[in-house]
Amino acid sequence: MKLSARNTLKGTVKEIILGQVNAEVILTLPGGEEITSIISKDAAEALKLAPGKTAYAIIKASAIVLGTDD
């Protein structure tokens, strides 16, 4: 797989929570961290996502917003 995105995180699907339109997909990364993505239900089905399956979180953003509690 070749992509222009610089941040690709390989993980394992932990859980999929299906809604009427969207799916919340939780990936567990090799270090134990988790990342959650909201994708369309159709995309989750097309990718054949299921718990235990390997998947990639591909992050491409032109801006990242940071904040503090101060």
**What's the predicted TM-score (pTM) here?**
0.82
Whole-number CA gyration radius for the chain: 14
Total domain count for the chain?
1
DSSP helix/strand/coil, 46: helix
Within a domain: 38: yes
CATH number for 14: 2.40.50.100
Tracing tokens 């239900």 back to the chain, one arrives at 41
Flag the least confident range among 17-21, 51-55, 65-69.
65-69
**Helix intervals (H) in 1-70:** 41-46
Backbone conformation region of residue 31, classed left if phi is above 0, alpha if psi is from -120 to 50, else beta? alpha
What is the pLDDT of the chain when averaged over all its residues? 91
Within a domain: 52: yes
64: pLDDT strictly greater than 80: no
pLDDT band for position 65 (50/70/90)?
confident
* Domain enclosing residue 42, as ranges: 7-59
Within a domain: 22: yes
2: pLDDT strictly greater than 90: no
